[in-house]
């Protein structure tokens, strides 16, 4: 049976007026309403912009390489491989985030597009939780996240949908799809909801596209409502 825990990540650098924050909050509110008090007790929130995850350092790399040579290990064994205070510190920063992700039944990710890809805050979290072997069972090799439901809310100020002139510049959604596939999330459990042209109202060159922006936002809201009713 999958956990009812919701791990909610926001990564927009805008504390107010953020479309990605508004959309993830909409999903979280609906999820809370569905799961009631029990669900609220199993809710975890991280603001990766206001409280950023420290970037990985050389000691993280050294411990990761040493661990990878040993194969897939239990988390306690990885901690025992740490050599010196720097490696121990890197593991101390990483392990709680890894355990938090592994415990989540649903992961909700707010991902605005910055310079064609994900934010620095989200990338730092990804680097920190992607330690060699930690998302596979040490005994069977099976992916531990195969039943985890992932909802990615991908927000873009311009238009990057397939068939648009800048579709080839989208290094946000393809990257996240590849990443979650790599760490073992089953394809049927990965849900990507996009809201496009969110800057249409305030960027003169995009003003004429405001009706399309409104359609995209409404479609994203409807998709999130439907997901929150089932996950």
Enumerate the known binding-site residues.
12, 18-20
Q: In what order do the strands lie in the sheet with 43-47?
A: 43-47, 6-10, 106-112, 149-155, 190-195
Other residues' Cβ atoms within 10 Å of the Cβ of residue 172: 25
Pair 187, 144: CB distance under 8 Å = no
As annotated, the binding site for FMN includes: 12, 18-20
Return the ∠ at Cα 128 (arms to 48 and 99), rounded to 5°. Answer: 90
Residue 161 to residue 36: CA distance in whole angstroms: 36
């Amino acid at each position: 049976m999958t956990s009812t825990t919701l791990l909610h990540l926001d990564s927009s650098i805008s504390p107010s007026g953020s479309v990605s924050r508004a959309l993830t909050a909409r999903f979280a509110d609906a999820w809370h309403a569905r799961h009631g008090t029990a669900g609220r007790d199993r809710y975890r929130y991280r603001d990766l912009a206001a409280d950023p995850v420290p970037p990985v350092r050389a000691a993280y790399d050294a411990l990761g390489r040493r661990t990878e040579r040993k194969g897939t290990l239990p988390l306690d064994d990885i901690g025992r491989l740490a050599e010196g205070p720097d490696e121990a510190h890197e593991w101390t920063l990483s392990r709680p985030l890894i355990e938090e992700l592994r415990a989540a039944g649903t992961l909700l990710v707010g991902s605005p597009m910055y310079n064609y890809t994900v934010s620095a805050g989200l990338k730092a979290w990804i680097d920190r939780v992607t330690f060699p072997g930690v998302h596979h069972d040490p005994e069977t090799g099976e992916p531990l996240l195969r039943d985890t439901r992932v909802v990615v809310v991908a927000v873009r100020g311009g238009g990057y949908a397939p068939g648009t002139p800048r579709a080839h510049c989208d290094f946000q959604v393809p990257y996240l799809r590849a990443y979650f596939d790599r760490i073992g999330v089953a394809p049927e459990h990965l849900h990507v909801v996009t809201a496009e042209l969110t800057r249409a109202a305030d960027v003169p060159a995009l003003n004429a596209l405001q009706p399309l922006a409104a359609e995209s936002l409404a479609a994203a809201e409807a998709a999130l409502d439907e997901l929150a009713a089932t996950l």
